Amino acid sequence: MTLVEQIEAKAAQLANDCMGGTAKPDECLTSLFVQLEESASEHLTRLSILAPPPTPLHCKPGCSSCCKTGAVQLTPPEALFLLGIIETCGFRYAVTLAARSSARPGCPLLDHQGLCRFYAHRPLMCRAMNSLDVAECRKCEGGEGMDVPLWLPHFETYARVQSGMSASLIKKGKAMPFLSLRKVLALETSVPLLWEEWLKGANPFKAAVAG
């Protein structure tokens, strides 16, 4: 089993353990994503020693070109995790308005300095994005994707975490469509109601499906 296959398998096991436990769903999800991030970070540390990127990654605080595209997709657990934090912090209404505003390009979670207000709770594909050339990133702002030179092991690590988690939860009968981040943030449905429907096996995110 390769390193990336190992991280996918570990993500699947963590997701399986989470949904099979007795903790409250929201507490379980928080624990799941903390563990997934720890696993991904440990994995990337090993990879950077075995085969480091050709140049240092250009990503840094305030560098938000990838946040100004329509490319970010996430899964229902990621959406529930993020929306739960936003709602708990009292920002849900403001974020919904920003997400629905055509005058506000880019991710509604960005502040005026280009920093993500919920960086610690961002989706897996936000974590996956990286760049070896910031000038190429800037050329992609406002588009639908990022055609930039990546350190592929970094991107693939988070993609495998997402696929491993998804495969495990699909086996448990949970709806796991790919969602648009902006459409998720534009939803008005309360997080408890989203949780209730999703745990039943329904898809309460139909209005936010990517594509």
- pLDDT value at position 188? 95
Structure tokens at 144: 């639908």
Q: Do 104 and 111 contact (CB within 8 A), yes or no? A: no
- Separation between Cα atoms, residue 179 and residue 73, nearest integer Å: 5
- pLDDT value at position 21? 64
154-182 residue pLDDT tens = 999 999 999 999 999 999 999 999 999 99
Q: Which backbone phi and psi does 87 adopt, to 5 degrees?
A: -70, -40
- pLDDT value at position 18? 82
- Separation between Cα atoms, residue 162 and residue 36, nearest integer Å: 9
Average pLDDT estimate for 115-137: 92
184-205 residue pLDDT tens = 999 999 999 999 999 999 999 9
Task: Report, in angstroms and rounded to the nearest whole number, the Rg of the chain calculated over CA atoms.
Answer: 17
Question: Residue 103: which residues within 8 A CB-CB, separation 6 or more?
Answer: none
Question: Residue 116: which residues within 8 A CB-CB, separation 6 or more?
Answer: 64, 67, 107, 109, 110, 122, 126
Specify the number of domains making up the chain. 1
15-71 residue pLDDT tens = 988 877 666 777 888 888 999 999 999 999 998 998 899 989 899 888 888 888 777
| Structural domain boundaries enclosing 182 | 3-208
By 3-state DSSP, what share of the chain in percent is helix, strand and coil, each rounded to 5? 55, 5, 40
Q: Do 116 and 63 contact (CB within 8 A), yes or no? A: no
